[in-house]
Amino acid sequence: MPHHPHNPLHGVTLEAILNELVATLGWDGLAKRIDIRCFKSDPSIKSSLTFLRKTPWAREKVEALYIQQQKKR
């Protein structure tokens, strides 16, 4: 298996990304940064994962926010 040193998302699941963002920012903070209804109305990891897996543009925004948060550390 090739090593991907320049891909910050390599080996990180969408669930892990979402869990970390929620732990860091909270649902309100996540909803303020990414305007998606599943983050605002009765949010849960399960419903958000379902939506993000079916919606590429939303997943890209979540992944970009995760990378941005990682660079701040």
State the pLDDT at residue 7.
82
pLDDT in tens, 10-54: 889 999 999 999 999 999 999 999 999 999 999 999 999 999 999
Output the pTM of the full model: 0.88
- Within-domain flag for 5: no
When divided into structural domains, the chain yields a total of 1
The residue segments making up the domain with residue 58 are: 14-72
CB neighbours (10 Å) of residue 62?
Answer: 21
Is position 44 within any domain? Answer: yes
- Domain-located, residue 1: no
2 lies in a domain? Answer: no
Is the separation of the CB atoms in 19 and 45 below 8 Å?
A: yes
The CATH number linked to 31 is 1.10.720.30
Q: State residue 4's pLDDT score.
A: 63
Q: CA-to-CA distance for 15 and 65, rounded, in angstroms?
A: 14
